[in-house]
Structure 1
Amino acid sequence: MKDIFVIAPSKNISPMLSDMISKVTRYTNYTLVENSNNIPNLQNKKIFFASESTDINCDISMLHFFSKLYEKGTKCLLGSVGAILVHSSTDHGTKRTSQDIIYLANNLGCSFIGHSVVEATSSLRNFITRQKNLNLPLEEICLIMCSRLRNRLLEYNPITINNPKILVLYSSPHKTSNTLDLWHMTSQHLSLCDIKELQIENGDVLDCKGCSYTLCTHYGTQNKCFYGGVMVDDVLPSIEKSDAIIWLCPNYNDAIASNLTAVINRLTVLYRRMSFYDKTIFSVVVSGNSGSDSISKQLIGALNVNKGFRLPPYFSIMAIANDPGEIFNIPQIHELAKDFADNIKKEIKA
């Protein structure tokens, strides 16, 4: 899988996105896919999705392309590994566009390397923080990031981990949680895995204080954080030791539960010290009515795009269940949970 496939269906590619595509295809064999009516076999490929986000914060051409992919079935990207180049005509929209693409491709069998996106807003001001260290023009920094992403995608060749260490993070009460029930349906098929379940209770983890980079790095080198407590004593060490983290996320008002959001925000101290590229994430998301996709996209943005965790294919199992125990009434839910468990065992890689 040394060749690259570049999916770029937009008819109005900007000069900036064109330069980004040129950077990732330079000195590399590649196939440019532009026509949604003539899509080649995209299984077991290294894929760049090149997206032009418009002033309405989406790429209509890319969405049309995915509608054609979905007609081919939910395995049409199976075995492929993806990354994204996205340019916006405004200073907004790159995150939403990226999350939409990753979510759609993931449900077709595509995995994504950690830090899977290079975003270029219209002003390129999203690279100012990097400019403080690199002391280069913003456009040049963007293209350097594209080149690095290409190299990581080409070199990516993980292998399955046997008897993996799995950390399960949740905040729901045991007796009434459909999310926990769905997880336990799954975990009964993971007997050979080393599983640790960790409940984040109210008040256990305070949200990030927003320390300066220097102060956060100082604490990180000592395996500490400004707040200390269970985050330092248990959560961060458990994440560091794990091969995979499974996030159990009941849908609270179309947002990740505040306790788990605090954990994500406090990951920075560990993130300063180590890479998460060899750690895989999964999620169990249950909604009372709708919106599970919103939660999954938030996890994608926070953990794969921002923090750099590996995103395996079909990373999330989602369901709708409101009353306690209703999860058991969903048709074929036990079969779906077993399939999800099989995917977990197959897709914990490094």
Structure 2
Amino acid sequence: MGQLTVLKFGTSERLGRMLEYSLKGYEWDIFTDIDEMNDLQNKRVLFAIDLYDGGINIDLIKMLEKIRSSGPDFMRNSVGGILINSDNELFSRGEARRTIFYANMAGCLFPGKPLSEATGSLRNFNTRRSITEGQVSLEDMLLADCREVVERVAESKINKLRAPKILALYSGNSKTSNTYALWTMVKENLDACQIKEIHIENGSVVDCKGCPYKTCKHYSKSTNCFYGGIMVEEVYPAILDCDILVMLCPNYNDSINANMSAVINRLTALYRKTKFYDKYFYSIIVSGFSGSDLIAHQLISALNINKTFMLPPKFALMETANNPGDVEKIENIREKAKEFAENIKLLIS
């Protein structure tokens, strides 16, 4: 159990209650002055954030700028989590995943489900309450959720892997895709790993039907899903078997493409049965114009915050390339690919 470093941005009573309840029994230092938020390497860092009606916290923005401008190792070997309180129903998830992105690019690891968020009404806990036995208030559920986040941050460990099994999921044409070409450069430097690739072809994965919770839970008991197909026959077993998931994600209109989105949505049935706290995920993202950070944010939400995959430091390799073959013309691209592979290999014992 490590001592916690709390970076506090806000003074609301509810954020105070969230911290008071979740920090009981832990040793912690709290900082409210950005100028004192230094020496963030090898720490257990908890961001505690208030968002006001406009969804903006100026001090948080200044801190993210400080993290970015302080270099790629400002939070090296640290573990992070977030408690966030909003005055309304908006902005909390967006600001949380942006904070995770900045800290992660500076070397901070985030365990699965590193976020507890309080929307203005706390109605974001209604679904959880509906499947919880007994009478529990929404605020009590929030406080328990905050405590779980702090426990993950305080007790999370980086598990070293031997000959790790890597699963790469991709949807594009391997002969013309810049994203796949960049992955090829990366995997050339992953000789100590066992690599499996699954091509998600057009039409091979039907998107999630949105089954009721009990129906989804029923299928999950047999590691199944309403639609079956390649997800149940190939992807589910490969996910369960892998140590590291690599998502190859070209930018489609500032979003991951439909096939990869369907894969993530369909993971819900597997997630009902098996959590992914012990699995790492990385991504290779290529944009034709700009916006790779938006794809990274989306993946952070879907796989780290929602589906419990661990987010290792500097999880995304992001480049800009439009026409087929353009990625290979980027200056020092093979060195960048090798550096990304070496980052993955830090997990190997």
TM-score bracket for the superposition, by shorter chain length? over 0.9
Deviation of the 1:336 alpha carbon: 0.7
After TM superposition, which residue ranges in structure 1, 4 or more long, deviate above 6 angstroms?
A: none
Identity of aligned residues (%): 43
2:61 maps to amino acid: L
Other-structure match for 1:308: 308
Other-structure match for 1:99: 97
User: CA–CA distance in 1 between the matches of 2:206 and 2:254?
Assistant: 21
8 Å contact from structure 1 (residues 280, 348) kept in 2: no
1:1-350 mapped onto 2 (5 Å cutoff): 2-10=2-10, 13-132=11-130, 133-134=132-133, 135-347=135-347
Gaps of 5+ in 1: none
8 Å contact from structure 1 (residues 9, 36) kept in 2: no
8 Å contact from structure 2 (residues 250, 286) kept in 1: yes
SS at match of 1:277: coil
150-159 vs 225-234, greater mean Cα deviation: 150-159
SS at match of 1:32: strand
2:22 maps to amino acid: V
User: CA–CA distance in 1 between the matches of 2:17 and 2:342?
Assistant: 41
Deviation of the 1:319 alpha carbon: 0.3
Deviation of the 1:18 alpha carbon: 1.1
**Number of residue pairs matched by the alignment:** 347
Gaps of 5+ in 2: none
Deviation of the 1:348 alpha carbon: 6.5
User: CA–CA distance in 2 between the matches of 1:148 and 1:37?
Assistant: 29
The TM-score, its normalising length taken from structure 1, stands at: 0.96
User: CA–CA distance in 1 between the matches of 2:293 and 2:111?
Assistant: 20
User: CA–CA distance in 1 between the matches of 2:161 and 2:269?
Assistant: 26
1:105 maps to amino acid: A
1:70 maps to amino acid: R
Change (3 A) 1:50 1:287: same
User: CA–CA distance in 2 between the matches of 1:17 and 1:269?
Assistant: 33
8 Å contact from structure 2 (residues 67, 103) kept in 1: no
SS at match of 1:90: coil
8 Å contact from structure 1 (residues 285, 319) kept in 2: yes
SS at match of 2:346: helix
1:256-301 deviations in whole A, cap 9, x for unaligned? 0100000000001100111100010000000011000000000000
8 Å contact from structure 1 (residues 243, 348) kept in 2: no
SS at match of 2:144: helix
User: CA–CA distance in 2 between the matches of 1:314 and 1:347?
Assistant: 13
Deviation of the 1:92 alpha carbon: 1.1
2:321 maps to amino acid: A
User: CA–CA distance in 2 between the matches of 1:200 and 1:307?
Assistant: 20
Deviation of the 1:27 alpha carbon: 2.0
User: CA–CA distance in 1 between the matches of 2:17 and 2:218?
Assistant: 38
197-206 vs 47-56, greater mean Cα deviation: 47-56
User: CA–CA distance in 2 between the matches of 1:172 and 1:73?
Assistant: 33
1:73 maps to amino acid: G
SS at match of 2:256: coil
User: CA–CA distance in 2 between the matches of 1:201 and 1:60?
Assistant: 44
54-63 vs 95-104, greater mean Cα deviation: 54-63
Deviation of the 1:153 alpha carbon: 1.8
8 Å contact from structure 1 (residues 44, 80) kept in 2: yes
User: CA–CA distance in 2 between the matches of 1:58 and 1:106?
Assistant: 21
The TM-score, its normalising length taken from structure 2, stands at: 0.97
Change (3 A) 1:308 1:45: same
8 Å contact from structure 1 (residues 52, 59) kept in 2: yes
8 Å contact from structure 1 (residues 17, 87) kept in 2: yes
SS at match of 2:34: coil
8 Å contact from structure 1 (residues 108, 313) kept in 2: yes
Deviation of the 1:30 alpha carbon: 0.7
8 Å contact from structure 1 (residues 9, 65) kept in 2: no
